[in-house]
Structure 1
């Protein structure tokens, strides 16, 4: 079976699947993405990278700028795909994340291949991430570009043999006639690696070593930004620290924005929030650790007493399920993607995204109640084992998707 994987941030969501298949007899995997990539243990994958989209970048009608960039990227990837074809490569299946335009023209180069589209997100003007936060609501003319952002995904849907997305909530964002045809298959969690370890420790930047015996509150996001509730968590921190004098709070994430808006003042959200609430923080107990090596990140989750996860109605973070797999006691925002997984009182607790009082009250309640934490921790891990384990849940369904 020849499999062509397309993702600008290769391997992206296909990482576990690619590593699994490359070790199986009869599979040849070729990947195309932007930039160079280390092997990452995937030496058997043939990778072709492009440095940047090629072609003219003349000014176009402003509302069409996104699609113009997608088309440029699509042509670049198509040129690479054509070179693979000229050298004799013929994929049986193309599995692609089309959201940036990489897959626009590849199905035409390999018309005999089955094309499977990973449809991650459908943009909407109302009742969406764009109007969720009153403080940062997108307004006016900026909203006119929103429907056009869906063009590339809609073209992929039209060309695809089958479509896939990781959660029911994401499938439900698409128009019903499309969402009903999207198969829900999460990319899965390696629950053998991502697992509890009562003996785990985590060393803070100041040299202090945390263990499961400490009272540790954790917050993890790729970036410290409003889309993942960083501003809400920071505004709750002074009261959390006051009510929990023995807590150590550890925040993971880079300062650059991944989603949404930069801070209006031009600096990072971290700097802005420290300026806003910093006077009320005991900086000896609040630790910003930036981005962590994966093993260190897992150890932090393992020593966490309560893990706080907040998100706009947006794509669910991998860290959310990884924290559950590590047996964290979860306190999540009562937003759509979280509520698909988290059942209040069974495998975690929930609070309204903007309800700082509830966030602080529930966090304090959990820290005072080890028995409740143990019960919720067990429920969290069992949820991931039952529904999101890569080997037993995701892989069989992906194999079915690829080989039917």
Structure 2
């Protein structure tokens, strides 16, 4: 029986599918180290909570704050792992996210245990979301703050035996000296579970029931914010609704700030953009659904005639690939990480992030002539199945890299 330690402050994070695949065999001793108290451990997984050893004060020095948080998380994780060690438990391999520091000191606990770290993003002053949108310029401190944030991945590359990045674009945000230690393989999409459904229906409460017969277009992000192009979507919305009087839009996501600065407006960025487009929108056809259970989110995409995915150059969202797997006709921002997954006119439609008018025009064309674009959804699904499917593509890649760190008699098998 192979003993596996999974580490992510927000269980399960990027290990959702990996954890499920490992536990289903019944042949592995799996411990998940996390801060997330409310997370439920599935059968076959033992959840172990750790507490950060230190949290910086609210007025902590800005250039040191992220490192202080990471060091506190790392030491807290190490102390909890020491307790596991003292009880006689030793993993054969450790898989964990590097972003919050939990992996930093684990070699002091188990010097000979291989660690495979998930490297998500290296903070860039140019080439990522910072300094991308002229409406949201960075201030003079940004280069210093970003370099200070990168102390965490810079330390982690020395704390792990191997690293993984989900996309080539994300790998290339890291300095070239990292690249020999990193391999590229996505977390994986369960295309066997994510499929189109012509008979799908969704209840919208007082707004009624919608099906594929309704003219529905959609937008989704974890939170409605600039990094995910919410302002561009909202500026395109009046023209789309005016051109398509029967169309309705379903908007999925929260109203907080995951990336970048929060809006100063009361009611957040959603309220700020509602005020800007104001009287130009027929709000009776706009449905903000908030954050949804996963099954309802799937139904939203399956109903959609056109799904809008807007992002600055940043970490590629699972939702894009999931939407493609469900054969959505996607209108997406023409930025480098999206171009890695979407080919214009073949698997989706790419538009200039800075041109809400072009976003609106493209969405209207799809809604007016769905047959003209009907080939895009099936082609998008084929592309995701070929390159991002968890069970047939991504899982074998990850297992090969994990097992290269282990003696044959401890290999991880599913």
Q: TM-score, normalised by structure 2?
A: 0.94
What residue in structure 2 maps to residue 110 of structure 1?
A: 110
Tell whether the 8 Å contact from 2:26 to 2:44 is kept in structure 1 after alignment: no
C-alpha change, 1:283 and 1:57, in structure 2 (3 Å) is: closer
C-alpha change, 1:280 and 1:87, in structure 2 (3 Å) is: same
Measure the CA separation in 2 of the matches of 1:374 and 1:265.
40
Q: CA deviation at 1:180?
A: 4.3
Measure the CA separation in 2 of the matches of 1:17 and 1:37.
20
Greater mean deviation of Cα atoms: 216-225 or 366-375: 366-375
What residue in structure 2 maps to residue 226 of structure 1?
A: 226
Measure the CA separation in 2 of the matches of 1:155 and 1:97.
13
Measure the CA separation in 1 of the matches of 2:60 and 2:342.
44
Per the alignment, in what secondary structure is the counterpart of residue 140 of structure 1? coil
What residue in structure 1 maps to residue 53 of structure 2?
A: 54
Mapping of residues 336-355 of structure 1, within 5 Å: 336-355=336-355
Mapping of residues 164-313 of structure 1, within 5 Å: 164-313=164-313
What residue in structure 1 maps to residue 37 of structure 2?
A: 36
Per the alignment, in what secondary structure is the counterpart of residue 385 of structure 1? helix
Q: C-alpha deviations, 1:178-206, integer Å up to 9, x for none? A: 13431111011111211111000112232
Per the alignment, in what secondary structure is the counterpart of residue 319 of structure 2? helix
Tell whether the 8 Å contact from 1:92 to 1:112 is kept in structure 2 after alignment: no
Mapping of residues 318-333 of structure 1, within 5 Å: 318-333=318-333
Q: C-alpha deviations, 1:86-106, integer Å up to 9, x for none? A: 111111111110111111111
Q: C-alpha deviations, 1:188-234, integer Å up to 9, x for none? A: 11112111110001122324211111111100011011111001100
Tell whether the 8 Å contact from 2:7 to 2:94 is kept in structure 1 after alignment: yes
Q: CA deviation at 1:60?
A: 5.4
Q: CA deviation at 1:394?
A: 1.0
Q: C-alpha deviations, 1:237-274, integer Å up to 9, x for none? A: 11111011111111001111111111133541111111
C-alpha change, 1:317 and 1:86, in structure 2 (3 Å) is: same
Q: CA deviation at 1:350?
A: 0.4
Structure 2: gaps spanning 5 or more residues? 405-414
Per the alignment, in what secondary structure is the counterpart of residue 146 of structure 1? helix
Measure the CA separation in 1 of the matches of 2:55 and 2:339.
45
Per the alignment, in what secondary structure is the counterpart of residue 95 of structure 1? strand
Measure the CA separation in 1 of the matches of 2:351 and 2:290.
26
Q: CA deviation at 1:63?
A: 1.0
What residue in structure 2 maps to residue 19 of structure 1?
A: 20
What residue in structure 2 maps to residue 138 of structure 1?
A: 138
Q: CA deviation at 1:360?
A: 1.2
Q: CA deviation at 1:56?
A: 6.8
Q: TM-score, normalised by structure 1?
A: 0.96
Measure the CA separation in 2 of the matches of 1:220 and 1:122.
24
Per the alignment, in what secondary structure is the counterpart of residue 221 of structure 1? strand
Per the alignment, in what secondary structure is the counterpart of residue 331 of structure 2? strand
Alpha-carbon RMSD across the aligned residues, in angstroms, is 1.5
Aligned length: 402
Measure the CA separation in 2 of the matches of 1:276 and 1:55.
42
Tell whether the 8 Å contact from 2:7 to 2:33 is kept in structure 1 after alignment: yes
C-alpha change, 1:186 and 1:56, in structure 2 (3 Å) is: closer
Measure the CA separation in 2 of the matches of 1:260 and 1:153.
19
Tell whether the 8 Å contact from 1:173 to 1:179 is kept in structure 2 after alignment: no
Measure the CA separation in 2 of the matches of 1:171 and 1:38.
29
C-alpha change, 1:143 and 1:266, in structure 2 (3 Å) is: farther
Measure the CA separation in 1 of the matches of 2:26 and 2:402.
15
Q: CA deviation at 1:35?
A: 2.7
C-alpha change, 1:363 and 1:62, in structure 2 (3 Å) is: closer
What residue in structure 2 maps to residue 315 of structure 1?
A: 315
